[in-house]
Structure 1
Amino acid sequence: MARPRAFDLDGAVEQATTLFRQQGYHATPIPQLTAALGIGSGSLYAAFGSKDGLYARALERYCDGLVATLERDVHTGADIRTALRALLITMITTDLAAPEQGCLLVGATTERASHDGTVKQVRMTLNAVESVLTEALHQARTRGELHGAVDPVHCARFLTTFIQGIHVMERARADRTFLESAVTGALRALD
């Protein structure tokens, strides 16, 4: 009879996410993962199949959280410029408060571009981000917040790219003044 799992799977995925964000996939060895999770390698393999399996779960959870946060933040009831500015400034503030924590989505894109499962998750997430932004921009145009020359799809694609670029610049230790200026410039795409 198999022994019941004696550790919290969600907690393990959360802890692994932290390590992967700080160090990346390749620089996070299994012994460090098992020590941080407080489990043996046998438990890791039984629960997740492999380090890749744990990474996939961490990335999926992280990406789901990003999309859910975006969805919530662009539908605050504020006009689209105010909502997007608040979202971007909050993102900057959060990232600058913990510079050792990188964006797992950016890390996955750059570090695991040859891994099909990772590429698929990244693509699905970026498509979801674009979709949420496109919908919010269409609604804003319907409310009269954007003039007819603003194409919601093109603007959403630009903002999706800009969000990832902000994360890269934060990782490169750009300062708040630089990042907030970039946000101001990016939001001009809505004019």
Structure 2
Amino acid sequence: MARTKEFDPDTALQAAMELFWQRGYEATSMADLVTHLGIGRASIYATFGSKHELYLKAFDRYCENRDALLLRELSQPGPALPAVRAVVRRFAAESAEERRLCGCLVTNTAAELAPHDPVAARRVEQRWDYLETLLHSALTRARAQGELPAERDPRALARMLLVLMQGLRVTGKASPDPTRVRDAAEQALTLLG
């Protein structure tokens, strides 16, 4: 007879995501995961696979939560430019908050794992492609609705905002000065017209 799980895998995955987000991949040991999740090593392996597989599942969970919010924010009917500005300002505000020390799990993964882990690099690239596509779509709508000057290139602006937003996460994580990220975001937004 198969044993039933004595823990909720969804809750455990959420806890793993938070631990990886706080500490990073390399600084999180299996012993840390066992302690933080409150379940045995064998149960972690049986449910999630290796530490690397668990990390990727945690990464995906983080992205699912963030992607749903971004999609909602950037695909609302009506004027598109205010939504783009709000998203950039939200990234800046989050980068300046106390939780800023965790940074962004996507950005953290890009810096820590992507240079030597092709699977993680693909995951990061997919997330950036998704964000760029959402921004591009909103900026294209903004240009079509006359909110964005006709000579502005929505694709190039989307890429610039993507790079800015990732940079805000890195800078916010390292700098105790919240005005640095807020000022950078506001200056970038002036390019939207």
TM-score interval (norm. to shorter) = over 0.9
CA deviation string 1:71-98 (max 9, x = no partner): 1122345644422232233233334131
TM alignment of 1:136-147, pairs within 5 A: 136-147=138-149
**Is 1:50 matched up with 2:50?**
yes
CA RMSD in angstroms comes to 1.5
Q: Report the Cα distance in structure 1 between the residues aligned to 2:54 and 2:75, rounded to whole angstroms.
A: 32
Q: Which amino acid aligns with 2:107?
A: V
TM alignment of 1:34-183, pairs within 5 A: 34-77=34-77, 79-95=79-95, 96-113=97-114, 114-183=116-185
Aligned positions, number: 191
Note the residue ranges of structure 2 that are not aligned, 5 or more in a row: none
Matched position secondary structure for 1:28? coil
| Greater alpha carbon shift after TM alignment, 171-180 vs 4-13 | 171-180
| Greater alpha carbon shift after TM alignment, 66-75 vs 102-111 | 66-75
Matched position secondary structure for 1:98? helix
Q: Report the Cα distance in structure 2 between the residues aligned to 1:86 and 1:9, rounded to whole angstroms.
A: 34
Q: Report the Cα distance in structure 1 between the residues aligned to 2:78 and 2:35, rounded to whole angstroms.
A: 45
Q: Report the Cα distance in structure 2 between the residues aligned to 1:75 and 1:145, rounded to whole angstroms.
A: 15
Partner of 2:192: 190
Task: Give the TM-score normalised by the residue count of structure 2.
Answer: 0.92
Question: Are the aligned partners of 1:85 and 1:183 in contact in 2 as well (CA < 8 Å)?
Answer: no
Question: Are the aligned partners of 1:18 and 1:101 in contact in 2 as well (CA < 8 Å)?
Answer: no
TM alignment of 1:4-23, pairs within 5 A: 4-23=4-23
Question: What's the % identity of the aligned pairs?
Answer: 36
Q: Which amino acid aligns with 1:156?
A: A
Matched position secondary structure for 1:146? coil
Question: Are the aligned partners of 2:13 and 2:58 in contact in 1 as well (CA < 8 Å)?
Answer: yes
Per the TM alignment, residue 174 of structure 1 is displaced from its structure 2 partner at its CA by 4.5
CA deviation string 1:11-34 (max 9, x = no partner): 111111111111110000001111
CA distance change for structure 1 residues 87 and 128 in 2, over 3 Å: closer, same or farther?
A: same
Q: Report the Cα distance in structure 2 between the residues aligned to 1:78 and 1:46, rounded to whole angstroms.
A: 48
Q: Report the Cα distance in structure 1 between the residues aligned to 2:30 and 2:156, rounded to whole angstroms.
A: 42
| Greater alpha carbon shift after TM alignment, 99-108 vs 150-159 | 99-108
Q: Report the Cα distance in structure 1 between the residues aligned to 2:78 and 2:88, rounded to whole angstroms.
A: 14
Q: Which amino acid aligns with 1:189?
A: L
Question: Are the aligned partners of 2:92 and 2:181 in contact in 1 as well (CA < 8 Å)?
Answer: yes
Note the residue ranges of structure 1 that are not aligned, 5 or more in a row: none
